[in-house]
Structure 1
Amino acid sequence: MRSARAIVTEYGGTDVLKLVLEPLRKPHRGELLIQVEYSGVALADLMRRKGLYPSSPQPPFTPGYDAIGIVIDKGEGVTPFAIGDRVAVFMDGVGGYASYLYAPVGEVIPVPASLDPASALSILLNYVTAYQMLHRFACVSEGNRVLIHGASGGVGTALLELGKLANLKMFGTASAHKHPVVTSYGAYAIDYRQEDFVEVLSQQAPEGMDAVFDPIGGRNWDRSMRTLHRRGIFIGYGYTSVISQGEENDWAARWQALTEDGTTANGNPVHLYSITTLKKERPEWFFEDVQHLFSLLLQGMIQPLISHRIPFHEVARAHELLETSKATGKIVLVHS
C-alpha cells in the first residue's frame, strides 16, 4: 500500500504542484495512521507555494493545514481510538495534502460519526479562526457593528454565520457576483472593486465599527483602521494582498511591528491573529473551540459553505479556483 502526497517542487505557479507516491510504514508508538477522506485548501497554502509566507518551508514540501479521515492502524500505547474511527488532524500549515497521515495521538480529534466529514473539516481552520477572533479577542456582543473583508471566502463565511448567531450588525466586502452569499447571512454587502468601503461605512454606520476583520493587509489595513469606532478593535489575520498585488513582500516586519505596538495610530487596540501561533500558546482553547463548534454543527446551528469538492489529483485546479477568486466558502480535496 502506498500514500499519495502533493508536493511543492519549487516556489511558483500551480505547475509546481506534483503528486508523489510513497510506501506506508507501521505507525510508531503513540501514533495513528489515518486514511484521509478530505483535505482543506487555504489561501496560505498558495502563499507558501509562491514562497511569500514568512518562514515558508524550503521545497520540496507538502502544504495543508487540515485533514479528516479514518483510523486504519495504531502504534503501541494508543488507547483512545479504535480502528474505523473518524478523526481530524490540524497541522501547522504543512502536511495536509496527503492520502495517508501519521499523527501523534494527542493531536488527533474525534469526529462524531453523524457529521458530514467535509463540513466537519471546515471547522478546524475556518470556523475555529472565525470563532476565536470573534469571541476570544473581539469579545463581540449583540448589536455590535463589524466589518468583514473577504466575506465570501472560507473564513469570511464562517465569520458571517457565527456573527449572525451572535446577532451582530455585519458589513462584508466581496465582488459583486458574490453579494447574494454575503446578504444571505444578513450582512450589508460592499463591492470592493467598485465602491470605497470607507465611504460606504461613513454613510451606513457613521458611529464606526466595533470590530474589523481583515486578511488582506497592506493599504487595506490602514483604510480599515479608519472605519473603527473609538473603542473598536482591529484584527488582522492574513496578508493576501501579496498574492495579487505583490505589495510589501516583507510584510512579516509590519506584522511584527503592529504586534509589538498593539494599537493603531488613533489608539485602537490591534490583534494580529494566527491560528497556529495561538494553538501552540493556548492548545486547550483550540480543542475546546473545536468541540463547541462540532456541537453547533450537530445541532444544525451552523452549515459550512463548501464551494468545491475537488478530486485530490486535481489539486492544481483547486489552487487556481482559489487564486482567481472563483470560490465561495471552503474548497476541499476529495481522496477516493
Structure 2
Amino acid sequence: MTSTTTTRVTEIVLPGPVEPDGLELRTRDLPAPAEGQVLLEMNATGVAFAEQQMRRGKYYDQPPFPFVPGYDLVGTVTATGPGVDAGLTGRRFAAVTKTGAWASHLLIDVTELLPMPDGVDAAAAATLVVNGITAWQMLHRIAKTPTGGTIVVLGANGGVGSTLVQLARHAGITVIGTASKRHHETVRELGATPVDYRGPDLYDRIRQYAPDGVDAVFDHVGGDGLEQSWRLLRRGGALVSYGTAATKDEEGNSQLPVLKLFGRIAAWNTLPNGRSAHFYNFWAGRRLRRAAWHGRLSEDLTHVLRLLADGSIAPQIAARFPLTDTASALTLAESRTVIGKVVILPDA
C-alpha cells in the first residue's frame, strides 16, 4: 500500500558561500513519495570533500544556492510511492545523491537504491559508499594494478585514501602513502609505508622506496604537483587524478582548474612512453548509459561491503555528529586533522 501522508523533515541548508557555522537548519513538510519514489529515513551520511568545495561555491557542477548538501547516505525505506514494491518498506539501502543527504528524510527514485547487506553498521557503511566505490573503481577498473605491484596514494589518511590503501593491501599490492606525521602510525597500521606530504623532498623520498618507478599514483591534489606524480610512474604505469584540492581556496571560475587538468592529461596520453593518465569522474557514463552505470555501482559497492563484513577492511570513522550539529562535522572535516570520514547521524 502506497503512502499518502506528509513527513516532517529536518534539513541542513547551504545558503551561499559561508563558513561552516553559516549552515542553516530548516524543517518542512515533505510530500508523500510520488510514482517510482521511496521515502528514505537517513541512518547515516557524512562529510566528503565535495561538500567542502560546495561550501565555497567551488564544486564543478554544484546546484545554485541555496540547497541541501549531502553526497551519499545509508537509509531505511519508510514509505513507497505508486508503482513501487511495498515490500521494500523497512529495508535498508545505500544511495548516492550528490546533494540532499544532509536531511532526516528524503525522497529518492527507487532505481537509485543500492543494496546493503544485513548486519553491517550504518555508520561504517556510510564511510564506504562513495569512498569505497571510488577507491575500488580507480584501483581495479582504471589503474588495474596487478598483484605484486606498487602504488602511491596521496592523502592516505583521507576518506578515499584510507579505503584505497586497504583495498590495495588486500589485493597484494605494496602501498606508499602520503600523510602528515601525526597520521604515520595509522597509515602503517592500514598497510602502507608513510611519507610526510609536507616534506620538501616528498617525491625524492617516494623514489627511495620505489627507485624503478611505481605502477600507479592516485592523486587528489592536482595543481603543480601533478607533474611530479606523473614522473613517478614506470613504463606501463597509470596516473589517476580524482581531485584538485591544491586549488580549493583559489578565487575565480571553479571549472577552470578542472579544464586545465583535462588538457594536461590529454597531452600526456599522446606521449609514446607506455604510461597513461586518467581523470576519475564518479558520474561518468550516467547520462548516456544509466542502467550500466548503476549496475557498476551496485557491483563495486557489494565487493567493498563484503570485505567490510568479513573484516578484510575496517571503516575509518573520524568522528560522529548529530544532524543538527553538521556545522561542527564540517569544521572538523576541513581541519585536515582526521583519519577517514566524519559521519553524520540522526539526532537521538
Q: Quote the Cα distance in structure 2 between the aligned partners of 1:245 and 1:96.
A: 27
8 Å Cα contact 1:174/1:191 also seen in 2: yes
Secondary structure of residue in 2 paired with 1:277? coil
Partner of 2:338: 327
Match 1:163 to one of 139, 162, 168: 168
Partner of 1:68: 74
Q: Quote the Cα distance in structure 1 between the aligned partners of 2:174 and 2:253.
A: 32
User: 2:281 is aligned with what amino acid?
Assistant: S
Secondary structure of residue in 1 paired with 2:88? coil
8 Å Cα contact 2:321/2:343 also seen in 1: yes
Distance 1:288 1:67, change over 3 A: same
User: 2:280 is aligned with what amino acid?
Assistant: Y
8 Å Cα contact 1:67/1:96 also seen in 2: yes
Partner of 1:257: 263
Tell whether 2:10 aligns with 1:4.
yes
1:247-284: per-residue Cα shift (whole Å, max 9, x none)?
Answer: 99520211332454462867421110011225555332
Tell whether 2:47 aligns with 1:41.
yes
Q: Quote the Cα distance in structure 1 between the aligned partners of 2:171 and 2:200.
A: 27
Q: Quote the Cα distance in structure 2 between the aligned partners of 1:234 and 1:247.
A: 27
Q: Quick check: 298-307 or 256-265, which moved more?
A: 256-265
Matches within 5 A, 1:251-330: 251-258=257-264, 260-261=266-267, 263=269, 267=273, 268-280=275-287, 281=289, 282-330=293-341
Tell whether 2:105 aligns with 1:100.
yes
Match 2:20 to one of 1, 11, 14: 14
Matches within 5 A, 1:145-164: 145-164=150-169
Give, in angstroms, the shift of residue 232 of structure 1.
1.0
Give, in angstroms, the shift of residue 180 of structure 1.
1.0
8 Å Cα contact 2:43/2:76 also seen in 1: yes
Distance 1:51 1:24, change over 3 A: same
Match 1:114 to one of 96, 116, 119: 119
8 Å Cα contact 2:166/2:191 also seen in 1: no
Q: What TM-score does the superposition give when structure 1 sets the normalisation length?
A: 0.94
Distance 1:279 1:259, change over 3 A: farther
8 Å Cα contact 1:210/1:228 also seen in 2: yes
Q: Quote the Cα distance in structure 1 between the aligned partners of 2:248 and 2:332.
A: 14
Partner of 2:142: 137
Q: Quote the Cα distance in structure 2 between the aligned partners of 1:247 and 1:143.
A: 43
Matches within 5 A, 1:204-243: 204-243=209-248
Give, in angstroms, the shift of residue 186 of structure 1.
2.2
- Aligned residues with identical type, % of pairs: 33
Q: How many residues align?
A: 335
User: 1:202 is aligned with what amino acid?
Assistant: R
User: 1:230 is aligned with what amino acid?
Assistant: R
User: 2:245 is aligned with what amino acid?
Assistant: T
Q: Quick check: 73-82 or 52-61, which moved more?
A: 73-82
1:11-68: per-residue Cα shift (whole Å, max 9, x none)?
Answer: 1321331111111211101111011111121011110110111233211011111111
- Over the aligned positions, Cα root-mean-square deviation in angstroms equals 1.9
Q: Quote the Cα distance in structure 1 between the aligned partners of 2:45 and 2:227.
A: 34
Q: Quick check: 224-233 or 255-264, which moved more?
A: 255-264
8 Å Cα contact 2:195/2:206 also seen in 1: no
1:125-151: per-residue Cα shift (whole Å, max 9, x none)?
Answer: 111100000000111111111000010
User: 1:71 is aligned with what amino acid?
Assistant: V
Distance 1:205 1:135, change over 3 A: same
Q: Quote the Cα distance in structure 2 between the aligned partners of 1:246 and 1:233.
A: 31
Q: Quote the Cα distance in structure 1 between the aligned partners of 2:76 and 2:102.
A: 15
Q: Which residues of structure 1 form unaligned runs of 5+?
A: none
Q: Quick check: 208-217 or 240-249, which moved more?
A: 240-249
Q: Quote the Cα distance in structure 1 between the aligned partners of 2:11 and 2:41.
A: 12
Q: Quote the Cα distance in structure 1 between the aligned partners of 2:313 and 2:87.
A: 27
User: 1:79 is aligned with what amino acid?
Assistant: D
Secondary structure of residue in 1 paired with 2:175? strand
Partner of 1:189: 194
